[in-house]
């Protein structure tokens, strides 16, 4: 855990970076992939939502924007939150909110519940990519973070 807080500029030359960083990178990459699937899965089930809930195209747009607006609005403050509380703590809270939102979407019995779940999903997923990028910066030396 303490290694995660060491920035690459604080490392001494020749200090070996742990090999578990590759497992962490794969885990972070998988998390970002699932994040992407969660954000687009509503589009895939559009016809089923129209049939099940009888929603209009406008209502479907509101459901899509519930995620997009919260995700977008939290991108700036999430950087400050990551700097203040650290990647591990923010990542845990984010994953918890993200999981609750996914469960809430599956358990929703109406548009209000689905809207609330999508809103919470945007909040829970907002730190995902910035936290992953910051963690990669901690775990990988600068020479391993680029091509060529």
pTM for the whole structure: 0.79
pLDDT of residue 35: 87
Pair of tokens at residue 24: 């962490």
pLDDT in tens, the chain (148 residues): 444 444 444 444 445 556 788 888 898 889 889 888 888 888 888 888 888 888 888 999 999 899 999 999 998 899 999 999 999 999 999 999 999 999 999 998 888 999 999 999 999 999 998 998 898 888 887 777 776 6
């Amino acid at each position: 855990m303490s290694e995660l807080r060491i920035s690459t500029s604080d490392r001494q030359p020749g200090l070996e970076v742990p090999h578990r960083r590759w497992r962490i990178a794969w885990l972070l990459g998988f998390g970002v992939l699932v994040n992407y699937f969660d954000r687009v899965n509503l589009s895939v089930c559009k016809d089923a939502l129209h049939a099940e809930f009888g929603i209009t195209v406008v209502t479907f747009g509101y459901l899509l924007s519930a995620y997009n607006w919260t995700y977008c609005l939290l991108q700036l403050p999430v950087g400050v939150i990551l700097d203040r509380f650290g990647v591990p703590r923010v990542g845990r809270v984010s994953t918890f909110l993200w999981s609750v939102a996914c469960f809430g979407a599956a358990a929703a019995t109406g548009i209000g519940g689905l809207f609330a779940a999508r809103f919470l999903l945007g909040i829970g997923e907002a730190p995902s990519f910035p936290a992953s990028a910051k963690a990669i910066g901690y775990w990988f030396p600068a020479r391993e973070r680029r091509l060529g």
